[in-house]
Amino acid sequence: MSFSHAGRTLRKVAVIGSGQIGPDIALYFSKVLSPDGVKIVVVDVAADAIAKGRGKFEKKVQKGVESGAFTPEQQQQMNAAMTWTTDYQAIAGADLVVEAATENKDLKGRIFTQVEALVGEDAILVSNSSHLEPEVIFAASRKKDRTGVVHYFFPAERNLMVEVVPGKDTAAATTRWLMSFYEAIGKVPIQVKSRYGYALDPVFEGLFYACALLAEAGIGTTKQIDQVCRQTFKMGVGSFTAMNLTGGNPITAVGLDNYTTKINAWYRTPQSLKDRVAQKANWEVPGRDEKIEVPEALAAQIRDALLGAYFGICGEVLDAGLCTLADLNLGIETALDMKPAFTYMNEIGTAKALALVQAYAKSQTGFPVPRCIEEHGRSNKPFEIPVVLRDDRDGVAVLTIRRPKVLNALDQGVFEELRTRFQQCAADPKVAGIVLTGFGKKAFVSGADVNFLAKITGPAQGEQTSRASQLCVDAIEDVQKPTVCALNGLAFGGGIETAMACEVRIARKGLKVLAGQPEANLGIIPGAGGTQRLPRLIGIEAAAGMLRTCRPVSSEQACKLGLISEEVDGDLVDRAIAIARELAAGKRKRQKLAMGPMANVPTSLPTVEIGHLSRRVDEILGKAILGGARMELRAGIAFEAKCFGEVCGTEDMRIGVDNFVKNGPKAKAAFVHR
């Protein structure tokens, strides 16, 4: 058995190092690859490290069983996939090797020299370094084109972020495969250029350094600074606590001194950190339930200093061109669990952000004011932070919705960005076709962001909200170039409504749950064209059944109904690109949706069992389906918006949305049918 992806097959994966992070990397691999029969080998020269790593692995898997994250069958499968050994020969034949040994360039170099003698020419070799450049790690490697850094973050089995850092000799195909592979197994990869520390550690360690400087200056205690830091950046824990939890004092002490020459002169290892390392001591931080008193004036002083440092650090990373703004913002939010810098600057105003950075730079020798913050701050212009990413591939623009934290859910900002991206592609003479897909493998789009629905106060605002979304989806449908939607995972609510505006839809094969219109569960109806396009695609009766019962369909059912044209057992986006090219070249018949009224519209809908769902909402939903079917498509869509507004005036809409926000999607709302 094996796991195949993008032209490569994995039968064995090796993890070298059974210290703090290696067992966690192995745990994630065992979770996602053991169902395909892939063997995971963990190697360490120290027998006690292997024993501790195995114990840590098994303890975490057992906790997963107790919490319901894993079934006993999964536990057995994951344990059976693992080999823990001090014998390097066990690496032989591995298709992917991830080194997670101590952060020492000479040690890493020796390890990979040994590894290259044991694996095939096609094996990919990566280092989970946190700082060292791939050119340094792989300086002595014989075949550098298949090497690179993949930087995991604590805890590696749960933190989804990885930085993929190619070296100057890394083949572009290797980088592409690593990015695609990590996305396929559920991680969130960002590509980062090679520089010591990469993109995210200078943010983590730089903010810690700013905290340490405040403590050394006597501006606050480590407990006070830690608390203000956590509150300011919406972090789970403050910088000092994070350093304790990750055991990061020694590596940060080395990293900060290297940043002095690798990044800028502001960075250095503070004496307080040197002392902690020498004493092997943790920082004094707030206890779990301890309340720390910080006078507001002191809190404001600490907050302003940390904001100035944080914004400046992140701006320097962007100025250095290490990654895109969108990737940096996502990386900070995902890897470091803190409010992303550029979102934060937009919220407070970039002029204020610039003032904070300038004030911090004035107080700190060697601290630069980044060019990007100066340029935006002078005119108080917000940063553009895209979540719909464009990648042109030989005349086909691939648009990817990337909001992994909410499974690519849509809000009005994302709808607007989709409209802009499609219109840009439509106007670009170099683009012959457009492919729309979602990031990851779980969801194309999980639906609408319920938080923006919860803000609707009545019928007028409801109709206006629906109409705003509809106009963005209509803009997708208006594009005359071929448009293909590649459904990489489930498409609920606004997700499938957006997909239906594309000319062709395809999906990954074997998805047990692909598409659904679950709006009635929330006490609302579809508001982005679902009541009109779905009947025109699969027929009124089948569409009404999906809309009124909220029952989703599998990819196989969707194909039989005509909601998608095919299931794909291979690279979904590559197939979508091929279809777009066929349509553009006239080799495939165009499939644009008919814009006129539907024929043979019944006077009423068949009786269906709606269970606990609101009868009042169902009545309005039926009116939208039948009334709109008798109209031209665009008139029907506008009629849907009126019906959506009507629903927003019901008691059941408020009950349904409130229930979802408070209790989650699985809790049934107690509708009153009015």
Domain boundaries, the chain: 3-191, 201-378, 388-663
CATH topology of domain 388-663: 2-enoyl-CoA Hydratase; Chain A, domain 1 (3.90.226)
Residues with catalytic annotation? 497, 519
Full-model pTM: 0.94
pLDDT confidence of residue 455: 85
2: alpha, beta or left? (left if phi > 0; alpha if psi -120 to 50): beta
Please count the CA atoms within 13 angstroms of the CA of 50 that sit on its side-chain side. 16
**Distance separating alpha carbons of residues 328 and 385, to the nearest angstrom:** 10
CA distance from start to end of the chain: 56
Residue 234: name the closest of 336, 331, 348, 316 by CA: 336
Residue 647: strand, helix, or coil: helix
Distance CA 553, CA 29 (A): 30
Q: Which CATH class is domain 201-378?
A: mainly alpha
Evaluate whether 523 touches 657 at the Cβ level (below 8 Å). yes
Of 3.40.50.720, 3.40.710.10, 3.50.40.10, 3.40.50.1980, the CATH number of 3-191 is 3.40.50.720
Which tokens hold the place of 360?
């911090």
Please, which residues have CB within 8 angstroms of residue 39's CB and are 6 or more apart in sequence? 11, 12, 13, 81, 83
For the chain, the maximum distance between any two Cα atoms, rounded to a whole number of angstroms, is: 83
CA dihedral 460, 465, 426, 629 (to 10 degrees): -70
pLDDT in tens, 119-137: 999 999 999 999 999 999 9
Neighbour-count burial of 512, counting CB atoms closer than 10 A to its CB (0-12 exposed, 13-18 middle, 19+ buried) = exposed
Burial class (CB in 10 A: 0-12, 13-18, 19+), 607: exposed
**Coil, strand, or helix at residue 561?**
helix
Write out the two tokens for 485: 């939607």
Q: What is the pLDDT of residue 238?
A: 95
CB distance 360 to 312 below 8 Å: yes
Show the 3-state SS of 566-619: EEECCCHHHHHHHHHHHHHCCCCCCCCCCCCCCCCCCCCCCCCCCCCCCHHHHH
Q: What are phi and psi of 210, to 5 degrees?
A: -60, -40
Q: Which residues of the chain have pLDDT under 50?
A: none
Q: Which pLDDT does position 666 carry in this prediction?
A: 86
